[in-house]
Structure 1
């Protein structure tokens, strides 16, 4: 996710998508507060989402967690014990999920999102958590700004912090690909672990800009992307990388594989990249409203749901039929 700190101005709003974490100049939010049920929550800044079976879950500013069980036609806002901006969500199955965000809050649900419990927070650290991943019901990781790396072995009830690098660059996204873990980070850094996160190898895509996401394509291919439309491919677990032309200098924020097998990467300024050859080439489309996309989700009925600085909306299927 784009983890850029900026004051909340019109310019920041234009670039505030899932991979952007907004640093508010106001006093820190007290995360023990309960999120306010807001009639316009579906139009607020939303930063991440996940589909679990027939359910969609999205998260964003002011502690908003929204759930849809009708393919995005309607949304229910959850009661949440924080007003901190929430940056990432991860469900291991239909019942068990976790959310992270500013103030280093970590929330857990054991009932599919009907209720949420605050299991960790550290507002004094002033470094938001930006992504979360669980390998099974008990073992998980939360990563974030300034090199924050937390690990849990008890389903998120407790967390242990450590450093995986001598640098304090922001760790933006963590994914599991087979038995390996990968992290996309800022300043051209990416990491791989071959032993469930105990040790990390620095990868070298030969680029100095930030990476906001890493996406596993088919046949063990990795797509690594971020600032100024840069996108790198690796077919050997990150040992070597090649570049792919995207046709845009907009920052790229997230990737999704649609049910038809195509890959879609979205970004700022309404950028949508579609690939029908496993990421070797991409066709560029620009949303006419130039939305700042943070994430796309495909509902069970194949509806495409977009979230970002505009909230949540459905997109036309025609956008994804570009050859």
Structure 2
């Protein structure tokens, strides 16, 4: 379970997605990010596609954009230096990025320009995941049970609680018409009404879950600390644990267009499945990278971000 003291600044990014080791940077709304030559090699935590373009985010408000499938990167200056942890696009033009200090940024031009739409430097809990059902309704969630929602495309946000507990909410994803949230203490939340209400599910595990990978129809994977990986084929009503042959924390998952599914985590750990997520074999990145997000590019490549910055994975690692 992740540390729970609200006085500690060492919360969740690559380690509540891993038991985080990074100190969040407090920044005012008018404190722009700073151009950094080595930003593509710094800690990066989130990635998303805007059409065929790629956008990654990370520490110090770093936001980078690639228009050539990840071969080169341009830093975009944004109106915050808060660490950014996650990013999503609902279409090629409209996207949102979230991070520490309850920071939420919005773009309407494919990521070329970003506007600060929400921030609270007094509260300081990090947001860890963001998801939009459509161009208007979306959710941002994070540490200590923080849950924000919008019905106007992210111009305004309201906070509410989905549980009496203040467990860290680490990731949100859609499985068909249902929403799932991976949390700590072995908890998973599911919504059957587009986020209006959530019910609590409890796989047979008491540690933190860091991510969710939707598969086909009603199937999904749930993964977290010490190599724990669970699969459900009935929307979380029943779970079975899959062997992984690793005790590394698992932080991100991706299903490729060819049906291959990937789960990645700390110490260069990469799990590869060629049978639609029924079983996984372990690969090891030789540089033992700490992966925080995987993303498929438009030409079928796999982009990875983490404590190493951003890179394209060699195809030999995915076989």
Q: Specify if TM > 0.5.
A: yes
Change (3 A) 1:25 1:218: closer
Residues 241 and 51 of structure 1: CA distance in aligned 2, closer, same or farther (over 3 Å): same
Structure 2 counterpart of 1:107, from 105, 112, 115: 105
Distance of 2:28 and 2:276 partners within structure 1: 44
The equivalent of 1:165 in structure 2 is: 163
Q: Secondary structure at the match of 2:101?
A: helix
- Residues 74-119 of structure 1, C-alpha deviations (whole Å, 9 max, x = no match): 0011120000000000100000000000000100000001110000
CA 103–160 in structure 1, closer or farther in 2 if over 3 Å, else same: same
Match of 1:255 in 2: 253
* Corresponding position of 2:241: 243
Q: What's the TM-score once normalised by structure 2's chain length? A: 0.94
- The number of residue pairs the alignment matches comes to 315
**What pairs with 1:130-141 in structure 2 (closer than 5 Å)?**
130-141=128-139
**Worse overlay, 220-229 or 24-33:** 24-33
Aligned-partner Cα distance in 2 for 1:288–1:17: 21
Please tell me the root mean square deviation across aligned C-alpha atoms, in Å. Answer: 2.0
1:146 aligned counterpart, secondary structure: helix
Q: Which has the higher contact order (CA 8 A, sep 6+)?
A: 1
Q: Mapping of 1:68-87 within 5 angstroms?
A: 68-87=66-85
User: For structure 1, which runs of at least 5 residues remain unmatched after alignment?
Assistant: none
Question: Matched residues in 1 for 2:93 and 2:132: separation?
Answer: 13
The structural deviation recorded for 1:179 is 1.4
Which residue among 76, 92, 95 is the counterpart of 1:94? 92
Taking structure 1 as the reference length, the TM-score comes to 0.93
Q: What is the aligned partner in structure 2 of residue 44 from structure 1?
A: 42
Instruction: Give matches, 1:147-186, under 5 Å.
Output: 147-186=145-184
Alpha-carbon distance change, 97 to 21 in structure 1, aligned in 2, over 3 angstroms? farther
Offset at residue 126 of structure 1 (A): 2.2
* 1:283-304 per-position Cα deviation (integer Å, ceiling 9, x unaligned): 1011111000111222222222
The Cα shift of 1:20 comes to 4.3
Q: Which residue does 2:62 correspond to in 1?
A: 64
Question: Structure 2 stretches of 5 or more lacking a match?
Answer: none
Match of 2:197 in 1: 199
Deviation at 1:24, TM superposition (A): 5.2
Divergent runs of 4+, >6 A: 2-8
1:305 aligns with 2:303: yes
Q: Is the 8 A contact 2:25 2:83 kept in 1?
A: no
Aligned match of 1:223: 221
